[in-house]
Structure 1
Amino acid sequence: MRWVVLAVAMVWGASAAAQERRPSHCIALADAAPGIEYLHKANWQDPVPDYSVRLSYIAHASFLLQTPGGITAVTDFTGFIGSAPLIPDVVTMNHAHETHWTAHPDPAIPHVLPGWGPFGEGIEHHLDLGEMLIRNVSTDIRSSFAGVEEKGNSIFVFEVEGLCIGHLGHLHHVPTEAQFAALGRLDVVMAAVDGGTTMPLPDMIKVLKRLKSSIIIPMHWFSTYSLGAFTVGIQDEFPVQRDGVSEIEVSLRTLPDRPTVVVLEPQYLIEQE
Protein backbone atom coordinates (compact mmCIF):
# COMPACT_ATOMS: atom_id res chain seq x y z
CA MET A 1 0.00 0.00 0.00
CA ARG A 2 2.88 2.34 0.83
CA TRP A 3 4.32 1.87 -2.67
CA VAL A 4 0.94 2.68 -4.25
CA VAL A 5 0.69 5.91 -2.26
CA LEU A 6 4.26 6.80 -3.20
CA ALA A 7 3.59 6.15 -6.89
CA VAL A 8 0.45 8.29 -6.82
CA ALA A 9 2.35 11.08 -5.09
CA MET A 10 5.09 10.94 -7.71
CA VAL A 11 2.59 11.14 -10.58
CA TRP A 12 0.77 14.03 -8.93
CA GLY A 13 4.04 15.83 -8.32
CA ALA A 14 5.09 15.46 -11.95
CA SER A 15 1.72 16.77 -13.13
CA ALA A 16 1.87 19.75 -10.80
CA ALA A 17 5.42 20.57 -11.89
CA ALA A 18 4.31 20.58 -15.53
CA GLN A 19 1.91 23.41 -14.77
CA GLU A 20 4.39 25.57 -12.88
CA ARG A 21 5.41 28.88 -14.39
CA ARG A 22 9.03 29.32 -15.41
CA PRO A 23 10.48 32.24 -13.43
CA SER A 24 10.65 35.43 -15.46
CA HIS A 25 13.12 38.28 -15.21
CA CYS A 26 10.68 41.18 -15.51
CA ILE A 27 12.13 42.95 -12.49
CA ALA A 28 15.48 41.22 -11.98
CA LEU A 29 17.32 41.61 -15.27
CA ALA A 30 18.89 38.48 -16.72
CA ASP A 31 21.73 37.95 -19.18
CA ALA A 32 20.83 37.29 -22.79
CA ALA A 33 20.29 33.61 -23.53
CA PRO A 34 23.15 31.95 -25.46
CA GLY A 35 22.58 30.13 -28.70
CA ILE A 36 19.95 32.56 -29.97
CA GLU A 37 18.09 31.31 -33.00
CA TYR A 38 15.17 33.46 -34.15
CA LEU A 39 11.42 33.75 -34.37
CA HIS A 40 9.30 30.95 -35.79
CA LYS A 41 6.23 31.28 -37.96
CA ALA A 42 3.18 29.48 -36.65
CA ASN A 43 -0.52 28.73 -37.00
CA TRP A 44 -2.78 29.61 -34.10
CA GLN A 45 -4.39 26.15 -34.11
CA ASP A 46 -1.11 24.23 -33.88
CA PRO A 47 0.16 22.99 -30.49
CA VAL A 48 2.51 25.51 -28.89
CA PRO A 49 6.06 24.15 -28.52
CA ASP A 50 7.51 23.70 -25.06
CA TYR A 51 9.04 26.81 -23.47
CA SER A 52 7.41 29.06 -26.08
CA VAL A 53 4.54 31.51 -26.39
CA ARG A 54 2.52 32.09 -29.54
CA LEU A 55 1.39 35.64 -30.34
CA SER A 56 -1.29 36.18 -32.97
CA TYR A 57 -2.30 39.67 -34.09
CA ILE A 58 -6.09 39.66 -34.39
CA ALA A 59 -7.01 43.30 -35.09
CA HIS A 60 -6.32 46.88 -33.95
CA ALA A 61 -4.95 46.26 -30.42
CA SER A 62 -6.15 42.68 -29.89
CA PHE A 63 -3.66 39.83 -29.67
CA LEU A 64 -4.08 36.17 -28.80
CA LEU A 65 -1.46 34.71 -26.44
CA GLN A 66 -1.19 30.93 -26.22
CA THR A 67 0.93 28.74 -23.94
CA PRO A 68 2.16 25.14 -24.23
CA GLY A 69 -0.27 24.16 -21.48
CA GLY A 70 -3.24 25.54 -23.39
CA ILE A 71 -3.90 28.85 -21.64
CA THR A 72 -5.32 31.51 -23.98
CA ALA A 73 -5.50 35.26 -23.36
CA VAL A 74 -6.79 38.06 -25.59
CA THR A 75 -5.72 41.68 -25.13
CA ASP A 76 -7.95 44.74 -25.58
CA PHE A 77 -10.88 42.41 -26.13
CA THR A 78 -13.81 43.88 -28.08
CA GLY A 79 -16.09 40.86 -27.99
CA PHE A 80 -15.17 39.72 -31.51
CA ILE A 81 -12.03 37.83 -32.45
CA GLY A 82 -13.28 36.11 -35.61
CA SER A 83 -15.41 33.12 -36.53
CA ALA A 84 -13.36 30.60 -34.55
CA PRO A 85 -15.33 29.13 -31.61
CA LEU A 86 -12.66 30.10 -29.08
CA ILE A 87 -13.53 31.13 -25.52
CA PRO A 88 -10.34 32.65 -24.06
CA ASP A 89 -9.33 31.86 -20.51
CA VAL A 90 -8.52 35.54 -19.93
CA VAL A 91 -9.39 38.81 -21.65
CA THR A 92 -7.97 42.23 -20.83
CA MET A 93 -9.62 45.50 -21.82
CA ASN A 94 -9.03 49.26 -21.86
CA HIS A 95 -11.75 51.85 -22.28
CA ALA A 96 -10.22 54.84 -24.05
CA HIS A 97 -12.35 53.87 -27.07
CA GLU A 98 -14.95 51.19 -27.81
CA THR A 99 -12.44 49.43 -30.07
CA HIS A 100 -10.55 48.31 -26.96
CA TRP A 101 -13.29 46.82 -24.79
CA THR A 102 -16.83 45.49 -24.60
CA ALA A 103 -19.51 46.03 -22.00
CA HIS A 104 -20.85 42.54 -22.68
CA PRO A 105 -18.06 39.94 -22.62
CA ASP A 106 -19.18 36.33 -22.98
CA PRO A 107 -20.07 35.10 -19.47
CA ALA A 108 -18.27 31.84 -20.32
CA ILE A 109 -14.90 33.67 -20.18
CA PRO A 110 -13.38 32.71 -16.80
CA HIS A 111 -11.35 35.90 -16.23
CA VAL A 112 -12.30 39.36 -17.52
CA LEU A 113 -9.78 42.03 -16.52
CA PRO A 114 -10.77 45.68 -17.13
CA GLY A 115 -7.87 48.11 -17.20
CA TRP A 116 -9.74 50.80 -15.28
CA GLY A 117 -11.69 51.20 -12.06
CA PRO A 118 -13.80 54.02 -10.62
CA PHE A 119 -12.86 57.32 -12.27
CA GLY A 120 -9.34 58.32 -11.26
CA GLU A 121 -8.81 55.36 -8.94
CA GLY A 122 -7.48 52.80 -11.36
CA ILE A 123 -7.44 49.07 -10.67
CA GLU A 124 -4.92 46.41 -9.71
CA HIS A 125 -4.69 42.89 -11.13
CA HIS A 126 -2.43 40.02 -10.11
CA LEU A 127 -3.90 36.90 -11.66
CA ASP A 128 -1.79 33.79 -11.18
CA LEU A 129 -2.88 30.91 -13.41
CA GLY A 130 0.16 28.78 -12.64
CA GLU A 131 1.63 28.73 -16.13
CA MET A 132 0.87 32.42 -16.67
CA LEU A 133 0.87 35.43 -14.36
CA ILE A 134 -0.98 38.56 -15.47
CA ARG A 135 -0.48 41.92 -13.78
CA ASN A 136 -1.00 45.55 -14.73
CA VAL A 137 0.53 48.99 -14.37
CA SER A 138 -1.91 51.90 -14.50
CA THR A 139 -1.31 55.02 -16.62
CA ASP A 140 -3.41 58.10 -17.39
CA ILE A 141 -5.60 58.76 -20.42
CA ARG A 142 -7.37 61.77 -21.86
CA SER A 143 -10.97 61.91 -20.69
CA SER A 144 -14.02 62.55 -22.86
CA PHE A 145 -14.09 66.21 -21.87
CA ALA A 146 -10.47 67.09 -22.78
CA GLY A 147 -9.37 66.47 -19.23
CA VAL A 148 -7.35 63.62 -17.78
CA GLU A 149 -8.57 60.38 -16.30
CA GLU A 150 -5.85 59.33 -13.92
CA LYS A 151 -5.09 55.60 -14.02
CA GLY A 152 -7.63 55.11 -16.79
CA ASN A 153 -5.39 52.82 -18.87
CA SER A 154 -3.56 49.65 -17.97
CA ILE A 155 -0.34 48.28 -19.36
CA PHE A 156 -0.84 44.55 -18.94
CA VAL A 157 2.17 42.32 -18.38
CA PHE A 158 2.05 38.59 -19.06
CA GLU A 159 4.77 36.54 -17.38
CA VAL A 160 4.94 33.12 -19.04
CA GLU A 161 7.66 30.61 -19.99
CA GLY A 162 10.30 32.89 -18.49
CA LEU A 163 9.24 35.75 -20.78
CA CYS A 164 7.80 39.15 -19.90
CA ILE A 165 5.30 40.30 -22.51
CA GLY A 166 3.81 43.79 -22.25
CA HIS A 167 0.81 45.34 -23.97
CA LEU A 168 0.88 49.13 -23.65
CA GLY A 169 -2.85 49.54 -24.24
CA HIS A 170 -4.02 53.04 -25.13
CA LEU A 171 -0.96 54.75 -23.65
CA HIS A 172 -1.25 58.55 -23.74
CA HIS A 173 2.01 59.68 -22.12
CA VAL A 174 5.58 58.69 -21.45
CA PRO A 175 5.48 56.56 -18.29
CA THR A 176 6.94 57.94 -15.10
CA GLU A 177 10.08 56.50 -13.53
CA ALA A 178 7.89 54.64 -11.04
CA GLN A 179 5.80 53.16 -13.87
CA PHE A 180 8.88 52.06 -15.81
CA ALA A 181 10.20 50.43 -12.64
CA ALA A 182 6.89 48.63 -12.07
CA LEU A 183 6.93 47.31 -15.63
CA GLY A 184 10.43 45.92 -15.34
CA ARG A 185 12.20 44.33 -18.28
CA LEU A 186 9.79 43.52 -21.14
CA ASP A 187 11.09 40.96 -23.63
CA VAL A 188 8.19 41.61 -25.98
CA VAL A 189 6.07 44.75 -26.18
CA MET A 190 2.99 45.61 -28.24
CA ALA A 191 2.91 49.36 -28.87
CA ALA A 192 0.36 51.70 -30.44
CA VAL A 193 1.99 53.54 -33.35
CA ASP A 194 -0.91 55.59 -34.76
CA GLY A 195 0.90 58.80 -33.83
CA GLY A 196 -2.22 60.71 -32.84
CA THR A 197 -5.08 59.18 -30.87
CA THR A 198 -2.65 57.61 -28.40
CA MET A 199 0.57 59.63 -28.35
CA PRO A 200 2.89 61.36 -30.88
CA LEU A 201 5.32 59.02 -32.63
CA PRO A 202 8.45 60.74 -31.26
CA ASP A 203 7.16 60.11 -27.73
CA MET A 204 6.29 56.47 -28.44
CA ILE A 205 9.69 55.89 -30.02
CA LYS A 206 11.25 57.46 -26.93
CA VAL A 207 9.33 54.97 -24.77
CA LEU A 208 10.43 52.02 -26.91
CA LYS A 209 14.06 53.11 -26.85
CA ARG A 210 13.83 53.27 -23.08
CA LEU A 211 12.24 49.81 -22.80
CA LYS A 212 14.72 48.21 -25.24
CA SER A 213 12.50 45.16 -25.59
CA SER A 214 13.90 42.37 -27.73
CA ILE A 215 10.74 42.31 -29.85
CA ILE A 216 8.57 45.36 -30.59
CA ILE A 217 5.24 44.61 -32.27
CA PRO A 218 3.43 47.66 -33.73
CA MET A 219 -0.33 47.81 -33.23
CA HIS A 220 -3.11 50.37 -33.47
CA TRP A 221 -2.02 51.53 -36.90
CA PHE A 222 -4.88 52.68 -39.09
CA SER A 223 -3.11 52.57 -42.45
CA THR A 224 0.14 51.61 -44.12
CA TYR A 225 0.99 55.32 -43.98
CA SER A 226 0.93 55.47 -40.17
CA LEU A 227 2.77 52.14 -39.91
CA GLY A 228 5.34 53.37 -42.43
CA ALA A 229 5.88 56.61 -40.53
CA PHE A 230 6.67 54.57 -37.43
CA THR A 231 9.04 52.12 -39.13
CA VAL A 232 10.89 54.97 -40.87
CA GLY A 233 11.16 56.82 -37.57
CA ILE A 234 12.64 53.87 -35.68
CA GLN A 235 14.63 51.94 -38.30
CA ASP A 236 17.84 53.85 -37.63
CA GLU A 237 17.71 52.56 -34.06
CA PHE A 238 16.15 49.09 -34.45
CA PRO A 239 15.94 46.76 -37.47
CA VAL A 240 12.47 46.12 -38.90
CA GLN A 241 11.26 42.65 -39.87
CA ARG A 242 8.07 42.21 -41.95
CA ASP A 243 7.39 38.73 -43.30
CA GLY A 244 3.67 39.05 -44.01
CA VAL A 245 2.61 36.73 -41.17
CA SER A 246 0.06 37.32 -38.42
CA GLU A 247 1.56 34.95 -35.83
CA ILE A 248 4.93 34.18 -34.30
CA GLU A 249 6.25 31.84 -31.65
CA VAL A 250 8.88 33.18 -29.29
CA SER A 251 10.94 31.76 -26.45
CA LEU A 252 13.91 32.89 -24.39
CA ARG A 253 16.19 31.04 -26.81
CA THR A 254 14.72 32.67 -29.92
CA LEU A 255 14.81 36.30 -28.80
CA PRO A 256 16.79 38.51 -31.23
CA ASP A 257 20.20 39.61 -29.97
CA ARG A 258 19.17 43.25 -30.36
CA PRO A 259 15.81 45.05 -30.16
CA THR A 260 13.88 44.31 -33.36
CA VAL A 261 10.58 45.60 -34.72
CA VAL A 262 8.46 42.65 -35.88
CA VAL A 263 5.48 43.74 -37.98
CA LEU A 264 2.54 41.32 -37.85
CA GLU A 265 -0.43 41.55 -40.19
CA PRO A 266 -3.81 41.62 -38.42
CA GLN A 267 -6.04 38.63 -39.12
CA TYR A 268 -9.22 37.53 -37.37
CA LEU A 269 -9.20 33.99 -36.02
CA ILE A 270 -10.88 31.43 -38.25
CA GLU A 271 -11.06 27.69 -37.78
CA GLN A 272 -9.09 25.84 -40.42
CA GLU A 273 -9.64 22.20 -41.31
Structure 2
Amino acid sequence: MEIVWLGHSCFRLRGREATVVTDPYQKSTGFTLGRPTADIVTISHPHPGHGNAAGVAGQPRVIDGPGEYEIKGVVITGIRTYHDAEAGKTLGKNTAYLIEMEDLVICHLGDLGHELTTAQVEAMSNVDVLLVPVGGGSTINAAQAAEVISLIEPKLVVPMHYRTPAGAAELDSVERFLRQMSVPNLEPQPKLTVTVSTLPEETQVALLEHRKG
Protein backbone atom coordinates (compact mmCIF):
# COMPACT_ATOMS: atom_id res chain seq x y z
CA MET A 1 0.00 0.00 0.00
CA GLU A 2 1.10 3.54 -0.79
CA ILE A 3 0.38 6.29 1.75
CA VAL A 4 0.68 9.93 0.68
CA TRP A 5 -0.03 12.96 2.88
CA LEU A 6 -2.10 15.57 1.03
CA GLY A 7 -1.92 18.07 3.90
CA HIS A 8 -3.75 18.73 7.18
CA SER A 9 -5.56 15.43 8.00
CA CYS A 10 -5.90 14.29 4.39
CA PHE A 11 -4.15 11.15 3.14
CA ARG A 12 -4.38 9.07 0.01
CA LEU A 13 -4.22 5.33 0.70
CA ARG A 14 -3.69 3.45 -2.55
CA GLY A 15 -3.98 -0.31 -2.79
CA ARG A 16 -4.17 -2.73 -5.71
CA GLU A 17 -7.96 -2.64 -5.96
CA ALA A 18 -9.04 0.66 -4.39
CA THR A 19 -7.95 4.13 -3.30
CA VAL A 20 -9.14 5.86 -0.13
CA VAL A 21 -8.88 9.59 0.60
CA THR A 22 -9.36 10.74 4.20
CA ASP A 23 -10.66 14.14 5.36
CA PRO A 24 -10.34 16.22 2.17
CA TYR A 25 -10.23 19.92 2.99
CA GLN A 26 -11.28 23.28 1.58
CA LYS A 27 -8.87 26.06 0.54
CA SER A 28 -9.39 27.88 3.85
CA THR A 29 -6.88 25.49 5.46
CA GLY A 30 -4.08 27.12 3.45
CA PHE A 31 -3.08 23.81 1.86
CA THR A 32 -3.57 22.96 -1.81
CA LEU A 33 -5.47 19.71 -2.24
CA GLY A 34 -5.27 19.38 -6.00
CA ARG A 35 -7.90 17.03 -7.39
CA PRO A 36 -7.23 13.55 -5.98
CA THR A 37 -9.16 10.60 -7.36
CA ALA A 38 -10.57 7.95 -5.03
CA ASP A 39 -13.04 5.10 -4.76
CA ILE A 40 -13.79 5.90 -1.12
CA VAL A 41 -13.71 9.09 0.95
CA THR A 42 -13.88 9.10 4.75
CA ILE A 43 -15.06 12.21 6.60
CA SER A 44 -14.32 12.40 10.33
CA HIS A 45 -16.54 15.46 10.85
CA PRO A 46 -18.14 18.11 8.62
CA HIS A 47 -15.89 21.09 9.39
CA PRO A 48 -14.34 22.86 6.33
CA GLY A 49 -10.89 21.43 6.98
CA HIS A 50 -12.15 17.86 6.88
CA GLY A 51 -15.43 17.52 4.99
CA ASN A 52 -14.79 18.58 1.38
CA ALA A 53 -15.84 15.36 -0.35
CA ALA A 54 -16.69 17.41 -3.45
CA GLY A 55 -12.98 18.09 -3.86
CA VAL A 56 -12.29 14.44 -4.70
CA ALA A 57 -12.73 13.13 -8.24
CA GLY A 58 -13.89 9.69 -9.34
CA GLN A 59 -17.43 9.63 -7.90
CA PRO A 60 -16.24 8.06 -4.64
CA ARG A 61 -18.45 6.47 -2.02
CA VAL A 62 -18.49 8.88 0.93
CA ILE A 63 -18.47 7.56 4.50
CA ASP A 64 -19.20 10.13 7.18
CA GLY A 65 -20.09 8.35 10.40
CA PRO A 66 -19.89 5.27 12.61
CA GLY A 67 -20.75 1.85 11.23
CA GLU A 68 -19.28 -1.00 9.23
CA TYR A 69 -18.76 -0.73 5.48
CA GLU A 70 -17.25 -2.89 2.74
CA ILE A 71 -16.46 -1.30 -0.62
CA LYS A 72 -14.27 -2.80 -3.35
CA GLY A 73 -12.67 -5.18 -0.88
CA VAL A 74 -11.91 -2.43 1.66
CA VAL A 75 -13.48 -2.95 5.09
CA ILE A 76 -14.04 0.24 7.07
CA THR A 77 -15.25 0.59 10.64
CA GLY A 78 -16.27 4.01 11.92
CA ILE A 79 -15.90 4.51 15.67
CA ARG A 80 -17.69 7.32 17.50
CA THR A 81 -15.33 9.72 19.22
CA TYR A 82 -15.48 13.46 19.93
CA HIS A 83 -13.77 16.64 18.77
CA ASP A 84 -13.33 17.84 22.36
CA ALA A 85 -12.98 16.52 25.91
CA GLU A 86 -16.63 17.28 26.74
CA ALA A 87 -18.37 14.53 24.74
CA GLY A 88 -18.83 16.90 21.82
CA LYS A 89 -20.55 19.71 23.71
CA THR A 90 -18.12 22.34 22.39
CA LEU A 91 -16.89 21.13 18.99
CA GLY A 92 -19.15 18.21 18.17
CA LYS A 93 -18.71 14.59 17.24
CA ASN A 94 -15.79 12.97 15.45
CA THR A 95 -15.47 9.60 13.75
CA ALA A 96 -12.25 7.60 13.87
CA TYR A 97 -11.89 5.03 11.09
CA LEU A 98 -10.31 1.61 10.91
CA ILE A 99 -9.49 0.96 7.26
CA GLU A 100 -8.61 -2.63 6.38
CA MET A 101 -6.96 -3.09 3.00
CA GLU A 102 -3.98 -4.96 1.58
CA ASP A 103 -3.96 -7.12 4.77
CA LEU A 104 -3.18 -3.99 6.80
CA VAL A 105 -5.23 -2.00 9.33
CA ILE A 106 -4.89 1.78 9.14
CA CYS A 107 -6.49 3.94 11.82
CA HIS A 108 -7.33 7.57 11.02
CA LEU A 109 -8.26 9.40 14.22
CA GLY A 110 -9.70 12.51 12.58
CA ASP A 111 -9.88 15.45 14.98
CA LEU A 112 -9.76 13.41 18.17
CA GLY A 113 -10.02 15.76 21.14
CA HIS A 114 -9.96 13.49 24.19
CA GLU A 115 -8.41 10.50 25.89
CA LEU A 116 -9.58 7.18 24.49
CA THR A 117 -11.93 5.01 26.51
CA THR A 118 -11.13 1.38 27.26
CA ALA A 119 -13.69 0.27 24.67
CA GLN A 120 -12.17 2.52 22.01
CA VAL A 121 -8.67 1.23 22.74
CA GLU A 122 -9.92 -2.35 22.47
CA ALA A 123 -11.56 -1.58 19.12
CA MET A 124 -8.21 -0.24 17.87
CA SER A 125 -6.10 -3.09 19.24
CA ASN A 126 -4.92 -4.45 15.88
CA VAL A 127 -3.78 -1.23 14.20
CA ASP A 128 -0.73 -1.40 11.95
CA VAL A 129 -0.56 2.26 10.87
CA LEU A 130 -1.89 5.10 13.03
CA LEU A 131 -2.63 8.52 11.52
CA VAL A 132 -2.79 10.79 14.56
CA PRO A 133 -3.36 14.54 15.15
CA VAL A 134 -0.54 16.11 17.14
CA GLY A 135 -0.95 19.89 16.88
CA GLY A 136 -3.20 20.58 19.86
CA GLY A 137 -5.69 23.42 19.75
CA SER A 138 -8.95 21.74 18.80
CA THR A 139 -7.40 18.24 18.96
CA ILE A 140 -5.02 16.30 21.16
CA ASN A 141 -1.51 17.72 21.54
CA ALA A 142 1.90 16.07 21.30
CA ALA A 143 1.88 14.61 24.82
CA GLN A 144 -1.69 13.36 24.46
CA ALA A 145 -0.86 11.85 21.08
CA ALA A 146 2.06 9.99 22.64
CA GLU A 147 -0.31 8.58 25.26
CA VAL A 148 -2.75 7.44 22.57
CA ILE A 149 0.12 5.75 20.73
CA SER A 150 1.21 3.93 23.90
CA LEU A 151 -2.33 2.59 24.33
CA ILE A 152 -2.91 1.50 20.73
CA GLU A 153 0.65 0.23 20.11
CA PRO A 154 0.67 0.54 16.30
CA LYS A 155 3.62 -0.52 14.18
CA LEU A 156 3.85 2.80 12.32
CA VAL A 157 2.76 6.29 13.36
CA VAL A 158 2.25 9.18 10.96
CA PRO A 159 1.53 12.60 12.52
CA MET A 160 -1.04 14.97 10.99
CA HIS A 161 -2.96 18.15 11.79
CA TYR A 162 -0.03 20.34 12.84
CA ARG A 163 1.32 23.76 11.91
CA THR A 164 3.19 24.10 8.63
CA PRO A 165 4.18 27.10 6.48
CA ALA A 166 1.22 26.28 4.20
CA GLY A 167 -1.39 25.65 6.86
CA ALA A 168 -3.55 28.49 8.17
CA ALA A 169 -4.57 26.83 11.46
CA GLU A 170 -2.97 27.95 14.73
CA LEU A 171 -1.45 24.65 15.80
CA ASP A 172 1.76 23.39 17.36
CA SER A 173 4.54 22.38 14.99
CA VAL A 174 5.33 18.73 14.39
CA GLU A 175 8.75 19.22 16.03
CA ARG A 176 7.14 19.20 19.46
CA PHE A 177 5.66 15.78 18.75
CA LEU A 178 8.93 14.46 17.32
CA ARG A 179 10.74 15.51 20.50
CA GLN A 180 8.02 13.85 22.56
CA MET A 181 8.63 10.62 20.64
CA SER A 182 12.45 10.98 20.91
CA VAL A 183 12.97 11.30 17.14
CA PRO A 184 13.76 15.04 16.87
CA ASN A 185 15.81 14.78 13.66
CA LEU A 186 13.40 12.68 11.61
CA GLU A 187 13.48 13.54 7.90
CA PRO A 188 10.21 13.69 5.93
CA GLN A 189 9.55 11.22 3.13
CA PRO A 190 7.52 11.85 -0.05
CA LYS A 191 5.43 8.72 0.56
CA LEU A 192 5.26 5.48 2.50
CA THR A 193 5.07 2.08 0.87
CA VAL A 194 3.86 -0.40 3.46
CA THR A 195 3.31 -4.15 3.35
CA VAL A 196 2.78 -6.70 6.08
CA SER A 197 6.33 -7.98 5.61
CA THR A 198 7.89 -4.50 5.98
CA LEU A 199 6.15 -3.52 9.22
CA PRO A 200 8.62 -2.86 12.05
CA GLU A 201 8.51 -5.04 15.16
CA GLU A 202 8.29 -2.01 17.46
CA THR A 203 6.48 1.29 16.99
CA GLN A 204 8.20 3.70 14.61
CA VAL A 205 7.32 7.24 13.54
CA ALA A 206 7.29 8.26 9.88
CA LEU A 207 7.08 11.88 8.74
CA LEU A 208 5.59 12.68 5.34
CA GLU A 209 6.00 15.62 3.00
CA HIS A 210 2.89 17.47 1.85
CA ARG A 211 2.00 16.51 -1.72
CA LYS A 212 -0.85 17.58 -3.98
CA GLY A 213 -3.39 14.99 -5.01
The TM-score, its normalising length taken from structure 2, stands at 0.83
Aligned residue number for residue 110 of structure 1? 60
Separation (CA, whole Å) in 2 of partners of 1:230 and 1:201 = 5
8 A contact 1:172–1:199 mirrored in 2: yes
Paired with 1:251 and 1:241, the residues of 2 have a C-alpha distance of 25
Residue pair 2:112, 2:139 contacting (<8 A) in 1 also: yes
Matched, 1:59 2:7: yes
> CA-to-partner distance for each residue in 1:181-236, whole Å, 9 max, x for gaps?
1223111000111022202322221111111111000111113862111110111x
Q: In the alignment, is the contact (CA less than 8 A) between 1:174 and 1:204 conserved in 2?
A: no
Tell me the residue number matched to 1:126.
Answer: 68
**Which amino acid letter does the alignment assign opposite residue 67 of structure 1?**
G
* Structure 2: stretches of 5+ with no match in the other structure: 166-171
Does residue 139 of the first structure (1) align with residue 53 of the second (2)?
no
Further displaced range: 204-213 or 72-81: 72-81
Instruction: State the 4+ residue runs in structure 1 displaced beyond 6 angstroms.
Output: none
Alignment of 1:157-176 (within 5 A): 157-176=98-117
Distance in 2 between the 1:137 and 1:61 partners? 17
CA distance in 2, matches of 1:187, 1:159: 10
Stretches of structure 1 that go unaligned for 5 or more consecutive residues are 1-52, 116-123
Please state how far the C-alpha of 1:88 moved relative to its aligned partner: 1.0
Q: Which residue of 2 aligns with 1:5?
A: none
Sort the Cα spacing of 1:182 and 1:245 in 2 relative to 1 into closer, same or farther, 3 A: same
Partner of 1:93: 43
* Structure 1 residue 68 corresponds to structure 2 residue 16: yes
When residues 103 and 77 of structure 1 are mapped into structure 2, their CA distance, relative to the original with a 3 A threshold, is closer
Secondary structure, in 3 states, of the residue corresponding to 1:253?
helix
1:77–1:101: 8 Å Cα contact kept in structure 2?
Answer: yes
Alignment partner for residue 232 of structure 1, among 179, 188, 195? 179
Following superposition, the deviation at residue 252 of structure 1 comes to 0.7
- Residue 260 of structure 1 corresponds to 204
Partner SS for 2:200: coil
Q: Secondary structure at the match of 2:163?
A: coil
In structure 2, the partner of 1:10 is none
Q: Give the aligned partner of residue 139 of structure 2.
A: 198
Q: Report if the CA contact (8 A) 1:56-1:246 is conserved.
A: yes
C-alpha displacement at 1:102, in angstroms? 2.3
Report sequence identity in percent: 26
Q: Which amino acid aligns with 2:125?
A: G
Q: Which residue of 1 aligns with 2:168?
A: none
Q: Which has the larger Rg?
A: 1
Contact 1:214 1:257 in 2 (8 A): yes
Separation (CA, whole Å) in 2 of partners of 1:103 and 1:132 = 18
Shift of 1:54: 0.8
